Structure 1
Amino acid sequence: MARLVRAALMRGGTSKGVVFRAADLPPAGAARDAVIVAALGPDSTGLAIDGVGGGVTSTLKAAVVAPPSKPGFAADYHFAQVSRGGGIDWRSSCANFASAAALVAADDGMALREADGSAVVRLWASGAGEALSVTLPATDAPPVAIAGVRGEAPPLRVEFELGGHALLPTGRPEEEGLRLGDRPLRATIVDVAGNPQVLVRAVEGGLRGDEAAEEATAALVWEAVDALLDEAAGRVGLKARPSGMRLLWLSARRDHCLAGGGAVAAAECDLLSRVSAGSRVHHAHTGTGALALACAAAVPGTVAHELVRGGGGGGCGGGGEAGAELRIAHPQGVMRVHASVGRDADGRHVAHSAGMVRTARYLMVGEVVV
């Protein structure tokens, strides 16, 4: 028998999905998973005809906002990445969709109001085991636009509190022996917010680096991409590759055209990035991928650092001082990400924080039939 479940269909950054409150769902487990899958309706066609989700990873997301399980937090943020096959991965986080979860938490009275009229929602990202805060502006703050989203909305500052998290899970800024099919690649594996990312030079994978998402998707052999990511996951000790693990195709900054019209000048960015997302290239850029890229750009010897410095860029390639910013050109425009990176007592490169400005909004509020 069908049932009604209170939910909000939301956009968060360049992602879209459904936000639930824990009180409206069964406890964590198979029954909760079944409700979320029924709501989003993933299917093998990629059309999600029987649900409110979409056919790509960016539109097959869910979040559960729950009372805090740890002191000092406004709420728990349980993020779920749903696959086209109906599987759910709770092990990672999504920086884009965190902005949507924060709006729901704030509307439920979980935000800490500041004297300037802004509000801070401190979230515990349970899958990644990371703390993050989302700052909602005062009501009179001017709206902003983010690349990949039509129109403007109030700016939401998403900040991951990384607390000295080790950036290089293998301890090496550059990996040897990874291959994309028969192509040897120089790669960096970096881990931020529970999502290991693999950074490679676009040209070594057969790309220019400035392709539209559709062009890059068609140019890649996705079985080879999956094999490379599986190998990288094994190198960092993971028995199964998490859904949030991505391959980032990087190139030095240069003048280039955007898929939807317009252009980006070399002086407006620090490097170019294209991101794998399932069996396609992301239409814009993943949030956690951008955070990882900003952190990696501050570490000498990484693929990102070499491309930023070699291309004459500034930003986080300058050494990772607090607040250093990286301007990432993706298929829809440029996004700005900041990171603070240093070394711990053992000399390892660690991340203290990383963040960016996102926007989010409610698309529909009500009950979903499952």
Structure 2
Amino acid sequence: MTQIRIPATYMRGGTSKGVFFRLDDLPEAAREPGPARDALLLRVIGSPDPYGKQIDGMGGATSSTSKTVILSKSESPDHDVDYLFGQVSIDRPFVDWSGNCGNLSAAVGPFAIGNGLVDPARLPRNGIAEVRIWQANIGKTIIAHVPITDGEVQETGDFELDGVTFPAAEVAVDFMDPADGEGAMFPTGNVVDDLEVPGVGTLRATLIDAGIPTVFVDAEAIGYTGAELQEAINGDPEALTRFESIRAHGALRMGLIEHLDEAAHRQHTPKVAFVAPPRDYVASSGKSVAGSDIDLLVRALSMGKLHHAMMGTAAVAIATAAAVPGTLVNLAAGGGERTEVRFGHPSGTLRVGAEAREGGGGWTAVKATMSRSARVLMEGCVRVPDDSF
């Protein structure tokens, strides 16, 4: 048995990072969806790891750092690149392909340009390059606005993103028609539902399918203020169990699963989040966040743990829900019509915008927009034993 070398790039996108591959660089057996591809990506990331550390792989032992991306020139009309995202479980042997990663979406455009996946004729010598991305997991269009300087992607800059230590160049990302899949943005037809969760109670919930399927509940209804940091949730096994139960019952109510036990094999979607009106708090970095500077508080869980900042796709869900009067997100922000909100998360604040329209018997999301940044951390080859897949 020997190790094989696979060209790869380790990139940060927003508050996440992952291993990026060109489809054509993967071993032939892993170029098609299936067990071989999943086994390869699991071994690259270092999963499943019963120790939860991913020491023998590229993963960082959190949902934000256990990610993979496969890119190729697009087969879809009017798009530059096809983008497939795989969320790798840390302690279980599976890769979840059910949704997108909004944070890594910001890195797709820069990677595509740097790896020759975008027609050079479409790239300015200096200015902003518009990269048209086909998000293959959910069948949606993303447009990344990538800064270019002297013909190269501009990665450094002064744009600061809470949850990321150093400033970088700003990459604006538009999520077009962000409702996930072809179903209704509100699968139940309601902007607020009564969600029965045995052992927890009957909770008011907004179940939305935009950016990523998300279950929103009121923080106060489950005993929180909305200003909690990671340890308050992740250090409480009973709380994590309650949140997983809320997530599973929400998934069932949204029609994402047919039986509750299926939720364990669909960790990436839906997300579960809790919202509250604004208040002062201290972020994980020690930075003070004034309630007067934000519209609401949001905390979200990903892969069973409270996220250290905010998932990009969940931010799309927040922006879209905030734009629809009467949702729990909208009400926490003060109600009324809104095209953008600034919300507080464990690492600081984030401003997101969205446009939603009512008509034809329901709501539709036109576009959601946020600013992120991206940077290449390392490029070269990953190595895996040749019997890994």
Distance 1:250 1:71, change over 3 A: same
Aligned residues: 358
Once residues 182 and 264 of structure 1 are traced to their aligned partners in structure 2, the CA distance between those partners, rounded to angstroms, is: 30
Once residues 193 and 356 of structure 2 are traced to their aligned partners in structure 1, the CA distance between those partners, rounded to angstroms, is: 20
- Report the CA distance between 1:33 and its aligned residue: 1.6
Once residues 158 and 96 of structure 1 are traced to their aligned partners in structure 2, the CA distance between those partners, rounded to angstroms, is: 10
Instruction: Give secondary structure in 1 for the equivalent of 2:341.
Output: strand
Once residues 173 and 137 of structure 1 are traced to their aligned partners in structure 2, the CA distance between those partners, rounded to angstroms, is: 38
Is 1:127 matched with 2:133? no
Instruction: Give secondary structure in 2 for the equivalent of 1:228.
Output: helix
Once residues 10 and 181 of structure 1 are traced to their aligned partners in structure 2, the CA distance between those partners, rounded to angstroms, is: 41
1:155-304 map, 5 Å: 155-162=170-177, 166-179=184-197, 181-193=199-211, 195-219=212-236, 221-239=239-257, 240-241=262-263, 242=266, 243-304=268-329
Unpaired stretches in structure 1, ≥5 consecutive residues = 310-316
- Report the CA distance between 1:116 and its aligned residue: 6.2
Once residues 79 and 312 of structure 2 are traced to their aligned partners in structure 1, the CA distance between those partners, rounded to angstroms, is: 22
Q: Which residue of 2 aligns with 1:356?
A: 370
What is the one-letter code of the residue matched to 1:35?
L
Unpaired stretches in structure 2, ≥5 consecutive residues = 385-389
Determine if contact 1:338/1:356 at 8 Å carries over to the other structure: yes
Determine if contact 2:160/2:167 at 8 Å carries over to the other structure: yes
- Report the CA distance between 1:303 and its aligned residue: 0.5
Distance 1:31 1:72, change over 3 A: same
What is the one-letter code of the residue matched to 1:80?
G
Once residues 21 and 93 of structure 2 are traced to their aligned partners in structure 1, the CA distance between those partners, rounded to angstroms, is: 18
Instruction: Give secondary structure in 2 for the equivalent of 1:44.
Output: coil
Is 1:46 matched with 2:46? no
Q: CA RMSD in A?
A: 1.9
**TM-score, reference length from structure 1:** 0.92
Distance 1:78 1:163, change over 3 A: closer
**TM-score, reference length from structure 2:** 0.87
Select between 219-228 and 289-298 the one with higher mean Cα deviation.
219-228
| Residue among 78, 83, 89 paired with 2:89 | 83
Determine if contact 2:325/2:336 at 8 Å carries over to the other structure: no
Q: Which residue of 2 aligns with 1:73?
A: 79
Determine if contact 1:19/1:100 at 8 Å carries over to the other structure: no
What is the one-letter code of the residue matched to 1:8?
T
What is the one-letter code of the residue matched to 2:217?
V
1:4-83 map, 5 Å: 4-25=5-26, 26-28=30-32, 29-42=34-47, 43-83=49-89
What is the one-letter code of the residue matched to 2:278?
R
Distance 1:217 1:164, change over 3 A: closer
Determine if contact 2:233/2:239 at 8 Å carries over to the other structure: no
- Report the CA distance between 1:109 and its aligned residue: 3.1
Distance 1:180 1:96, change over 3 A: farther
Determine if contact 2:4/2:383 at 8 Å carries over to the other structure: yes
Is 1:305 matched with 2:306? no
What is the one-letter code of the residue matched to 1:97?
L
| Residue among 108, 130, 148 paired with 1:101 | 108
Kindly provide the CA deviation profile for residues 167-220 of structure 1, in whole angstroms up to 9, marking residues without a partner as x.
211111111133373333111001113x21011111111212101111132345
Kindly provide the CA deviation profile for residues 32-80 of structure 1, in whole angstroms up to 9, marking residues without a partner as x.
2222111110212110011011211111000001121211100100000
- Report the CA distance between 1:347 and its aligned residue: 3.1
Once residues 137 and 306 of structure 1 are traced to their aligned partners in structure 2, the CA distance between those partners, rounded to angstroms, is: 36
Select between 232-241 and 205-214 the one with higher mean Cα deviation.
232-241
Once residues 13 and 232 of structure 1 are traced to their aligned partners in structure 2, the CA distance between those partners, rounded to angstroms, is: 27
